[in-house]
Amino acid sequence: MLASGLEYTDVVIRRHLYPQTMRRRLPFVMGYDVVGEIDQLGDGVRGFQIGDRVADMTVVGSNAAYRTLRADRLTRVPVGLDVAEAATLILTWTTAYQLLHRAARVRRGQRVLVHGAAGAVGQALLALGRLAGLDLWGTARGAHAALIRELGATPIDYQRDDFVRVLAGGFDVVFDGIGEDGYRRSFAALKHGGLLCAYGYSAGVQAQRRMLTMLIWIARLYLWRWLPGGKRARFYSINAMRARHPGWFREDLQRLFELVATGAVRPRVAERISFDEIAEAHRRLEAGGLQGKLVLCPDLKR
Ligand SMILES: NC(=O)c1ccc[n+]([C@@H]2O[C@H](COP(=O)([O-])OP(=O)(O)OC[C@H]3O[C@@H](n4cnc5c(N)ncnc54)[C@H](OP(=O)(O)O)[C@@H]3O)[C@@H](O)[C@H]2O)c1
């Protein structure tokens, strides 16, 4: 193990509000993604050698010094890439890439609103959205306005301004990983025929809602398409998409490795942390206000 990202999704998992893992009981090892170097090969594994650098999205189990992975799920990490930056691409940036290009299939010039724009996925959505030629707005607390501008978007202070009123006519696409008020206002902010891509429910987790409540929010998204106005809404899950299209996951992650290698994008690592700092990292994720990803680098001494 060389690097493993810590993300808000780990908080969701720890609180048993993540459908895939909600039945797991402690103790279990957390850790959603991993960049590592092959130390041993299982019988019959072909195409890899000891020392190769690889990545995988494991959902749990990667905040560890060593772990076992299935060869057919690995993506090669190009030599020379910073391991912490590479780790940020696995869950966070692949989510952003697939939201833009697989779920919403955005087109140059579209007007797009990103919630939680200073957050991990939000920053990736802005950076990749800019490359795709989108016209971007991002909600964040006021203190993050400069960062949002630096990422090429118009900031909206969600504590002061009403994002539904920002754009007369409405947005083509809204990406919402927060789910404040069960996505209602995000849907209201769309133009006629616009698309809401929901992908998270941080607000529900913060408010200690039950899993059932969030599942109802998600189910309701699919009923809204019958409302007048021609708007659509859907929920994106990286795991559901990987299960249906495993090739897309590898292809998109490889594309992101290339984008970083050529300098087209630069993921922001807030801090590299050691094992002793994981509990504190969870507190920091819950407190909010981070401007990049926390990445566990097991070789780091506190
Ligand atoms: N469906 C999927 O496949 C998938 C994949 C990845 C992540 N997710 C989910 O997507 C969500 C975002 O992930 P992330 O890693 O980007 O999290 P993050 O780094 O914590 O970013 C979220 C941002 O949202 C803002 N925020 C938090 N609570 C808010 C609230 N109540 N109202 C308005 N804004 C709020 C914060 O902005 P400020 O600091 O500016 O306040 C924070 O920076 C999480 O729920 C995560 O579990 C889903």
**26-73 pLDDT tens trace:** 899 999 999 999 999 999 999 999 999 999 999 999 999 999 999 999
| Residue 242, ligand 1, Cβ within 6 A | no
Cβ partners under 8 Å of residue 264, min gap 6: 131
Taking 60 as the threshold, does the pLDDT of residue 12 lie above it?
yes
| Residue 158, ligand 1, Cβ within 6 A | yes
Give mean pLDDT, residues 237-248: 97
The residue whose CA is least distant from atom 18 of ligand 1 is: 119
Cis bond upstream, residue 27 (ω within 30): yes
Give mean pLDDT, residues 72-85: 96
DSSP 92: I
DSSP 176: E
The residue whose CA is least distant from atom 22 of ligand 1 is: 119
Report yes or no: 274 and 298 within 8 Å, Cβ to Cβ.
yes
Q: How far apart are CA 280 and CA 57, in angstroms?
A: 23
Q: Which atom of ligand 1 is nearest to the CA of 201?
A: 45
Interval 147-183: pLDDT, tens = 999 999 999 999 999 999 999 999 999 999 999 999 9
Q: How far is CA 234 from CA 104, 174, 176, 223, in A?
A: 9, 11, 10, 10
Report yes or no: 199 and 2 within 8 Å, Cβ to Cβ.
no
pLDDT at 65: 95
Is residue 302 very low, low, confident or very high in pLDDT (cuts 50, 70, 90)?
A: low
Question: Quick one: which of 94, 144, 152, 88 has its CA closest to 288?
Answer: 144
Q: Which atom of ligand 1 is nearest to the CA of 118?
A: 43
Interval 251-277: pLDDT, tens = 999 999 999 999 999 999 999 999 999
The residue whose CA is least distant from atom 9 of ligand 1 is: 200
The residue whose CA is least distant from atom 2 of ligand 1 is: 237
16 burial via Cβ count (<10 Å: 0-12, 13-18, 19+): middle
Give mean pLDDT, residues 106-115: 98
pLDDT at 299: 84
Q: Which atom of ligand 1 is nearest to the CA of 203?
A: 31
Q: How far is CA 4 from CA 14, 89, 200, in A?
A: 16, 11, 21
Tell me the percentage of the chain whose pLDDT exceeds 70.
Answer: 99
Report yes or no: 80 and 105 within 8 Å, Cβ to Cβ.
no
- Tokens 């090739």 belong to 247
Cβ partners under 8 Å of residue 240, min gap 6: none
Give mean pLDDT, residues 97-121: 97
Q: Considering the chain, what is the average pLDDT of its residues? A: 96
- Tokens 């299209």 belong to 245
| Residue 120, ligand 1, Cβ within 6 A | yes
Helix (H/G/I), strand (E/B), else coil: 3: strand
